[in-house]
């Protein structure tokens, strides 16, 4: 089976690519930027705003994973008009290209548990009624979900919507809480916690998320929505303590709470467990350990590269 992954050069997309390859799928990436990890992969460079180029990338493809997006909520806040074009028009382009390629039997869409941010209920699952979102990022992701559902109803396209929890792990962007704490700890800087640090989040290890994406191709998942969230509740204090436990000799500082800090929703992933047989396997501590090992390796490689460049310059001058 041949699969196209839009956004396959990104954080989550690159792990989806790895997992699909492990399971024996033929994979092609469609992204604006080159994959930094894999060189041995079929890669189409282009934007999801380019319908013609997307169509060419879908030639001979059986399923499409659509992950390309402006995924950082801060970027969406700063560039709402641009983010809307990628996250909304980009999605309809992917759906439209898939519609005109009869060989595409499934589109899997990468959504987010942020769609529950404004619900009245605190315990939520895929049947919980959603409310108009307060954030533009969520609005773009929800619009895309609706487009997927409309394409399914109007054109008989098989779509599967996966709502991811907060991912962490190797190749994560630097702006999230785990990467910030790890980078500070390794630089010998204190970890700062606003308030008592007892506010919890659930985090999902990125390879577990990738596994859930592969399972989304199961027949039962046609035209369904699944939450893929972590199992453990982890407080900010626990994150800091886990990082301290692994790295050692780290100071944790407390500052006054910020008003309006998000209080987490309890997102159920029971449906994914029941129908797809998906459960997160990697514990938070193990996931952080793997992230730290990856981070250290990347830092060492960067230092070695600088040293090599320095040497080259010295010999040339």
Ligand X SMILES: NC(=O)c1ccc[n+]([C@@H]2O[C@H](COP(=O)([O-])OP(=O)(O)OC[C@H]3O[C@@H](n4cnc5c(N)ncnc54)[C@H](O)[C@@H]3O)[C@@H](O)[C@H]2O)c1
CA distances from 103 to 1, 47, 63 (A): 11, 22, 8
Please state the separation of Cα 8 from the chain's center in Å: 11
Catalytic residues: 137
Classify each residue of 169-203 as buried b or exposed e, where b means 16 or more C-beta atoms within 10 Å of its C-beta. Answer: bbbbeeeebbbebbebbeeeeebbbeeebebbbbb
For tokens 């029941």, what's the residue?
274
Q: Which helix (H) or strand (E) holds 189?
A: none
Among 83, 88, 110, 182, binds ligand X (CB under 6 A): 110
Shortest distance (Å) from residue 23 CB to ligand X: 19
Please state the separation of Cα 155 from the chain's center in Å: 28
- Stretch in the footprint of ligand X (CB under 6 A) among 63-71, 182-190, 246-254, 264-272: 63-71
Shortest distance (Å) from residue 162 CB to ligand X: 8
- Site for ligand X contains 12 (CB under 6 A): yes
- Site for ligand X contains 34 (CB under 6 A): no
- Site for ligand X contains 199 (CB under 6 A): no
**Closest residue to ligand X, based on beta-carbon distance:** 10
Calpha distance 55→152 (Å, rounded)? 19
- Site for ligand X contains 41 (CB under 6 A): no
| DSSP state at residue 129 | P
- Site for ligand X contains 65 (CB under 6 A): no
Q: Total number of residues binding ligand X (CB under 6 A)?
A: 25
In terms of CB distance, is 72 or 244 closer to ligand X?
72
Footprint (CB under 6 A) of ligand X, residues 117-156: 141
Calpha distance 219→221 (Å, rounded)? 5
Footprint (CB under 6 A) of ligand X, residues 153-182: 164, 166-167
Q: Hey, which residues does 224 pair with through a beta bridge?
A: 160
- Site for ligand X contains 13 (CB under 6 A): yes
- Site for ligand X contains 33 (CB under 6 A): yes
Residues that bind ligand X (CB under 6 A): 6-7, 9-13, 31-33, 47-49, 67-69, 71, 86, 90, 110, 112, 141, 164, 166-167
């Amino acid at each position: 089976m041949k699969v196209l992954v839009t956004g396959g050069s990104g954080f989550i997309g690159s792990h989806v690519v790895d997992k699909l390859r492990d399971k024996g799928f033929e994979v092609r990436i469609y992204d604006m930027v080159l994959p930094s990890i894999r060189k041995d992969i079929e890669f189409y460079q282009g934007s999801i705003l380019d319908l013609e180029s997307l169509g060419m990338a879908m030639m001979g493809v059986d399923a499409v994973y659509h992950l390309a997006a402006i995924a950082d909520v801060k970027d969406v806040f700063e560039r709402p008009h641009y983010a809307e074009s990628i996250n909304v028009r980009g999605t309809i382009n992917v759906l439209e290209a898939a519609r005109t390629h009869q060989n595409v039997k499934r589109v899997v869409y990468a959504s987010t548990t942020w769609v529950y941010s404004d619900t009245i209920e605190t315990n939520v699952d895929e049947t919980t009624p959603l409310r108009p979102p307060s954030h533009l990022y969520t609005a773009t992701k929800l619009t895309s979900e609706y487009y997927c559902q409309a394409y399914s109803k109007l054109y008989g396209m098989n779509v599967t919507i996966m709502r991811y929890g907060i991912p962490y792990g190797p190749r994560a962007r630097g702006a999230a809480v785990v990467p910030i704490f790890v980078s500070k700890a390794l630089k010998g800087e204190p970890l700062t916690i606003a308030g008592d640090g007892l506010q919890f989040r659930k985090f999902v290890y990125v390879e577990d998320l990738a596994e859930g994406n592969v399972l989304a191709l199961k027949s039962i998942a046609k035209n369904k929505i699944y939450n893929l969230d972590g199992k453990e509740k982890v407080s900010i204090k626990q994150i800091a303590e886990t990082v301290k436990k692994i790295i050692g000799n780290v100071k944790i500082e407390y500052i006054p709470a910020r008003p309006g800090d998000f209080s987490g929703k309890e997102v159920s992933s029971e449906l994914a467990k029941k129908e797809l047989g998906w459960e997160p396997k990697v514990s938070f501590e193990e996931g952080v350990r793997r992230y730290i090992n990856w981070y250290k390796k990347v830092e060492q490689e960067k230092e070695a590269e600088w040293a090599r460049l320095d040497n080259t310059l010295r010999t040339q001058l």
